[in-house]
Amino acid sequence: MIKFSEVHIGYNTALLKSSSMELHLGSVYVLVGKNGSGKSTLLKSIAGQLPLLSGSITLAGQEVITIPKKELPSQLSFVPVQFPAMDYVQAQEFIAAGRSPYTNIFGKLTDRDKSSVDAALNTLKIEHLSDRFTSELSDGEKQLVAIAKVIAQEAPYILLDEPTAFLDYPNKNKVLALLTSIAKEMNKCILLSAHDIELCLDHCANFLIVSKEERALELLQNPTKAALIDSAFKD
């Protein structure tokens, strides 16, 4: 589980805080809030890319910043909002990059690595994209490939920064449904940020919002749309 205790997050001054909160394996958590409310900052802080101002965030009992950089990727994976722009990288090669924490110094894939990649392709039903260059994929396909990489990475904790941002309605639906089922079936803890409140309400039960009074993180379970909008967006 991801555990927050007495955390202050921000660049120089605290953008948001959380006295105590726990995110569990097997569930999807949706982070909602206005632009600039600190969603990306929170994700970066959990991923250990941004030092905390105070307090601690632990992954399965171990503080994130104390986890050696080389081991962190096998615990936690992160999907940034933008799919990287690059030429001549096949989908399967991109997904295989998720195996890099486990490969040797030359990055040689073992049979175990190859079967992980195949399994990820299979889970997302994108075997047909395997040989395509990522630069030629649609936005929806790119997002599926990005998720497949995270699956191949086999980390129990998965962070996604606005995974639905560039997708059309059917693809948003598809991605959210996929993530919910992955969390359940593979026992992952998934935290994603999103602006599509209605859609997320259809698929997920757990919402993280920043309370307006104290800029504290709050966990809402099965909120109504009105309650969610009220607490996340009203001034």
Partner 1 sequence: MIISRRHKVLLFLSLVFLPIVAILHFHSGPAELSLGDFLNGIFNYDPDITEHNIVRELRIPRMMMAILAGAGLSIAGLLMQTLFKNPMAGPYVLGINSGASLFVAFSIMTGIPFFMSDIGIISNALIGALLFGLIISIFSSIVRSQISLLLIGIMLGSFTGALVSMLQAVSDAQELKSFTLWALGSLSRVEYDQLLTISVVFLIGLFGALLLIKPLNLLVLGQDQAKLMGMNFRMIRLLIITITAILTGLITAFCGPIAFVGLAVPNLVRMLMKTQHHGILIIASALFGALFVLICDICIRLLENQVNIPINVFTSVVGAPIVVLLILRKLK
Using CB under 8 A as the criterion, which residues of the chain lie in contact with partner 1 when the complex forms? Answer: 47, 49, 69-73, 77-78, 80, 84, 86-90, 92-94, 96-98, 100-101, 103, 105-107, 109, 133
Least spacing, CB of residue 105 vs partner 1, in Å = 6
Least spacing, CB of residue 84 vs partner 1, in Å = 5
Least spacing, CB of residue 70 vs partner 1, in Å = 4
**Nearer CB in complex with partner 1: 97/197:** 97
In 3-state terms, what secondary structure has residue 29? strand
Question: Measured between alpha carbons, how far apart are the two ends of the chain, in Å?
Answer: 31
Residues in the chain, how many? Answer: 235
Cβ-proximal residues to 218 (8 Å cutoff; 6+ apart), any chain: 208, 209, 210, 211, 231
**Nearer CB in complex with partner 1: 5/40:** 40
Q: What are phi and psi of 32, to 5 degrees?
A: -120, 155
Least spacing, CB of residue 2 vs partner 1, in Å = 16
**Nearer CB in complex with partner 1: 70/112:** 70
**Nearer CB in complex with partner 1: 6/136:** 136
The span from the CA of 221 to the CA of 219, in Å, is 7
**Nearer CB in complex with partner 1: 84/177:** 84
Copy the structure tokens of residue 229.
């909008």
**Nearer CB in complex with partner 1: 47/228:** 47
Cβ-proximal residues to 39 (8 Å cutoff; 6+ apart), any chain: 31, 32, 33, 161, 193
Cβ-proximal residues to 182 (8 Å cutoff; 6+ apart), any chain: 123, 147, 151, 188, 190
The span from the CA of 203 to the CA of 216, in Å, is 25
**Nearest alpha carbon to residue 148 among 158, 133, 138:** 158
Placement of tokens 């950089």 in the chain: 69
**Nearer CB in complex with partner 1: 32/72:** 72
